[in-house]
Structure 1
Amino acid sequence: MTRRIFSGVVLGVVLGIAPIQLSAETLASALTAAYNNSNLLDQSRALLRAEDEGVAVALSALRPQIGGSASLTQTDNRTAAGASLAATVALSVDMLLWDAGRTKLAVEAAKESVLAVRSQLVQQEQAVLLDAVNAYVQVLRDQRVLGLRQSNLRLITQELRAARDRFEVGEVTRTDVAQAEARLASARGDLANAQGQLEITRELYKLAVGRAPSNLKRISSLPKLPASENAAKATGRRSNPLIDQVQHQIKANELSYARAKAGTRPSLSASGRVSHTDSSGTTDSSSIGLTLSVPIYQGGQLSALTRRALALVHSSKAQLNQQVLSVEQGVGNNWAQLAVARAQVRSSERQIRAAQIAFDGVREEAKLGARTTLDVLDAEQDLSDARTNLVVSQTQVYSAAYSLLASMGLLTADNLGLNVVRYDPAEYYNAVKDAPVPISKSGKKLDRILNRYQKN
């Protein structure tokens, strides 16, 4: 009976542990969750869809504008004719024939704006993934620091117990015991601080990833990085989405400038109208005509709009030059931070080896009466600090490495090979770029896409 009970307990323990082992969180799974759960990405995608509609709005100006109207009018006459009631129904059609290319330029500018916002979406994706990386490594860091603080507390407790035993036999003074008690109180404070810091980073993890951390696995390797700083900067100039965004803004501003210049030229439009009036006598009428509009004087407005558009072109070009410098600086900073963090890891490892030897020696010498309790506590503190520095430095290595990827424009789901359902920015754009009407086949397809986004 006892053996069966023991077997049942062991089986229960194994079954209880197995799910935890199976649900271990890796960095890749955390990044996947961050991508899938991010409200910031959903917000940026919705803003991109709103920008897509700008193309449809601009394109609609090239199509016929059809409108209808109806009116009911009662007229009271102070004559023998008395009152009369008239009902009118009218249908009008207006069509732009030529405007010196202004509307087509507006369509092309809207397309460039869409591409700029797409680049902005990529930058937001990088920010979301980088926040997830930092949250992941910080939770790992604080878990290890908490373990070090717990180990330190146990060790100081042992030292205090030993100091009290030696005090009772007269080997040390009351001062030695008090020093150990003070160090124990400090260790308890450090432990409480580590526990609080871990709770803070756990909340940060929930914000960045979308769920609480559970059984995080240590990161086994760094991402693939360029061989040199110059190579990293070249990649940043080529791939950073912020640079790509400004480049599209320049093109959009140049097109807007050309549109502003075309605004000083004439435009030609056609219009038609059909109406039916039912009163005391039925009247049907129709008209068709051409309208040539020539701007002659608008109080200087057209010239001001042209100059403003040109100023925006100059501004965006200067912004591009500055953005390239900013990207190069970001790459350089992250490259240097990575080198420093790696050097600190190597230094901390050497420090730990030396501090361990020193601690072991001081403790043995204390047993022989050649060292005081304070000497042992100081040596133990040096060892604990060295171990903590190693944990912090290792965290900085991973943060700097992934920050370097982000500054180059490579911290994306595609580049990292994450197993996620990619958001296709072209899907919605292709559905709306031709400005479909709701009753058309394209319009019904668009409705299905919108329903899917609303469910999300």
Structure 2
Amino acid sequence: MRRIVGSLILGAGLAAAVVAPARADTLAQALAYGYENSGLLDQNRALLRAADEDVAQAIGALRPIISWSAQTALSTSSALRDAAPGTNGVDSFDVSSSATLSASLLLYDGGQSRYGIDAQKALVLSTREGLRGVEQQVLQRIVQAYMEVQRASAFVELRRNNLRLITQELRAAQDRFEVGEVTRTDVSLAEAALASARSLLASEEGGLTQAIAEFRAAVGRNPDGLAQAPDARIPGSLAEAQAIARREHPSIKGAQYAVTVAELNIARAEATTRPELSLTGSISVDDNFDDEEQIGIRMQQSIYSGGQLASQIRQAKANRDAARGDLLNTSRTVEQTVANAYSLLSVARASIEASTREVRAAQVAFDGLREEARLGARTTLDVLNAEQDLLDARATLVSAQIDETLAGYVVLAAIGRLTAEQLGLPVQVYDPVAYYNLVRNAPAATSAQGKALDRVLEAIGR
């Protein structure tokens, strides 16, 4: 409907406001540029890589830990007992050195490490959903900025057309005043309307400047003419959209993973009450090259910790209950957001339909009043009022058209599908799994995989 009414009722002036230049930025281009140059996305991608490293560190705790140490000590002593009267004792110096190579391997800890690894993996999945949520926020802000520039541009063009029309009315009133057809009052009314039109144009131009500034902040560059944005592809019904949101929305999926993390942390806390078994070994060499080898098994278990372990278990259970409550609240909030988005879409469509009829009627009324004014049957004030009614109707229609497009993308964000992949943007979509696959086995810094990781991080940091 939006594309049909544009040609029917807006006329040459409004058409100039909404028809895009021959070479203009598209919404897809703006979204792609903003996606590739977003500092917020870079920040959260780095946080995800940090979460990936937590998995590597948890896995590394189950592997042998080998370390070395070396020390040199200087000791002195004074032989005061054997010294002659009136003389000082002779100081003796002794230098001793030693080096130790030790190793330990965790054999059993009641499942603490395994539960910790699983919890970190679930936390990585939750962080990935958080990154997807940030991606939606970035893209939705770009869509909003894009459409607001179009709205402000259309309003400026409407005001310019209105200013030209009122200027013509002022000239006509002056000509008619000179021949005695109207009074000085009619001329003054036209002059007042012209001054008001100039003021309103300045206000709309200020709004356009602000919209461009927001576009630059959201996208990373200034707009270069904006083509008409395509309608978003959304589900046909509210029920279908809410079902999709329950399955795919990053906030819900992130909250689900958070519950999993909390449940694993309960098991991990309970495991701290079990015995821990480790294999240890060491080799020491002193400055006389005397060596000492030692190997053994160490077992330990907390018998009493002042209630600390029991408190940690209760705390983990409380955190689990809180995570479940957050999941329930998040699900309801997402469903409400989807419903609100569809409501906004329905309102915009109804407004377009009503505004279309209003503009058509206002155009007819304005044309008739202006003709009657030429014949002396209407005053200049009547024409100016009709012109203002037509301008208001056109502005309402333009705003409703923008709102309809915006509401479609709000629906996409509400169901979790406002992403670069879902929109098919011409970008290299960030793969959150790639880095995880490189670090999930906790490679050593000197290994081939560790060196490859260094090159990857160096390339990211450029």
Q: Normalised by the size of structure 1, how large is the TM-score?
A: 0.93
Amino acid at match of 1:107: I
- Mapped partners of 2:64, 2:185: distance in 1: 96
Task: Give the structure 2 partner of residue 135 of structure 1.
Answer: 145
Task: Give the structure 2 partner of residue 213 of structure 1.
Answer: 223
Amino acid at match of 2:301: V
Amino acid at match of 1:383: L
Task: Give the structure 2 partner of residue 340 of structure 1.
Answer: 347
- Mapped partners of 1:41, 1:178: distance in 2: 57
Task: Give the structure 1 partner of residue 281 of structure 2.
Answer: 272
Is 1:439 paired with 2:449? no
- Mapped partners of 2:198, 2:22: distance in 1: 34
* 1:22-46 Cα deviation digits (max 9, x unpaired): 7521111111111111111101100
- Mapped partners of 2:93, 2:100: distance in 1: 23
Task: Give the structure 2 partner of residue 165 of structure 1.
Answer: 175
- Mapped partners of 2:30, 2:301: distance in 1: 61
Task: Give the structure 2 partner of residue 413 of structure 1.
Answer: 420
Amino acid at match of 1:451: E
Task: Give the structure 1 partner of residue 37 of structure 2.
Answer: 37
- Mapped partners of 1:318, 1:425: distance in 2: 28
Kindly report which structure 2 residues correspond to 1:68-217, keeping only aligned pairs within 5 A, or say none: 68-79=68-79, 82-217=92-227
- Mapped partners of 2:37, 2:301: distance in 1: 54
- Mapped partners of 1:308, 1:314: distance in 2: 10
**1:354 paired residue among 361, 369, 383:** 361
- Mapped partners of 2:21, 2:159: distance in 1: 25
Amino acid at match of 2:393: A
Task: Give the structure 2 partner of residue 387 of structure 1.
Answer: 394
Task: Give the structure 1 partner of residue 264 of structure 2.
Answer: 255
Amino acid at match of 2:412: L
Give the CA deviation at 1:78.
2.1
| Aligned pairs, number | 433
Amino acid at match of 1:249: A
Task: Give the structure 1 partner of residue 246 of structure 2.
Answer: 237
Give the CA deviation at 1:21.
6.5
Identical amino acids, percent of aligned pairs? 48
Task: Give the structure 1 partner of residue 4 of structure 2.
Answer: none
Secondary structure of the equivalent of 2:25? coil
- Mapped partners of 2:135, 2:192: distance in 1: 49
| Residue ranges of structure 1 left out of the alignment (5+ in a row) | 1-19
* 1:143-185 Cα deviation digits (max 9, x unpaired): 1111100000000011111111111122111111111111111
Task: Give the structure 2 partner of residue 5 of structure 1.
Answer: none
Of 158-167 and 116-125, more deviation after overlay is shown by 158-167
Task: Give the structure 2 partner of residue 296 of structure 1.
Answer: 303
* 1:192-236 Cα deviation digits (max 9, x unpaired): 0111111111111111111110021112x4122111111111111
- Mapped partners of 2:446, 2:246: distance in 1: 45
- Mapped partners of 1:61, 1:235: distance in 2: 40
- Mapped partners of 2:331, 2:454: distance in 1: 40
Secondary structure of the equivalent of 1:371? coil
Amino acid at match of 2:117: V
Give the CA deviation at 1:294.
1.3
Secondary structure of the equivalent of 1:77? strand
Structure-2 change in CA distance of 1:290 and 1:81 (3 Å):
farther
Task: Give the structure 2 partner of residue 4 of structure 1.
Answer: none
Secondary structure of the equivalent of 1:222? coil
Give the CA deviation at 1:112.
0.3
**1:366 paired residue among 350, 373, 379:** 373
Task: Give the structure 1 partner of residue 433 of structure 2.
Answer: 426
Q: Are the counterparts in 1 of residues 112 and 272 from structure 2 also a CA contact under 8 Å?
A: yes
Structure-2 change in CA distance of 1:298 and 1:176 (3 Å):
same
Give the CA deviation at 1:283.
2.8
Amino acid at match of 1:292: M
Secondary structure of the equivalent of 1:82? strand
Task: Give the structure 1 partner of residue 291 of structure 2.
Answer: 284
Amino acid at match of 1:237: R
- Mapped partners of 2:426, 2:223: distance in 1: 19
Q: Are the counterparts in 1 of residues 24 and 225 from structure 2 also a CA contact under 8 Å?
A: yes
Structure-2 change in CA distance of 1:117 and 1:163 (3 Å):
same
Task: Give the structure 1 partner of residue 15 of structure 2.
Answer: none
Secondary structure of the equivalent of 2:226? coil
- Mapped partners of 1:91, 1:360: distance in 2: 98
* 1:71-98 Cα deviation digits (max 9, x unpaired): 1101112247921101111111111110
- Mapped partners of 2:24, 2:168: distance in 1: 34
- Mapped partners of 1:172, 1:293: distance in 2: 106
Is 1:327 paired with 2:337? no
- Mapped partners of 2:180, 2:331: distance in 1: 72
- Mapped partners of 1:81, 1:139: distance in 2: 88
- Mapped partners of 1:34, 1:406: distance in 2: 16
Structure-2 change in CA distance of 1:318 and 1:400 (3 Å):
same
Amino acid at match of 2:197: A
Amino acid at match of 1:28: A
Give the CA deviation at 1:325.
0.4
- Mapped partners of 2:430, 2:103: distance in 1: 40
Q: Normalised by the size of structure 2, how large is the TM-score?
A: 0.92
Task: Give the structure 2 partner of residue 6 of structure 1.
Answer: none
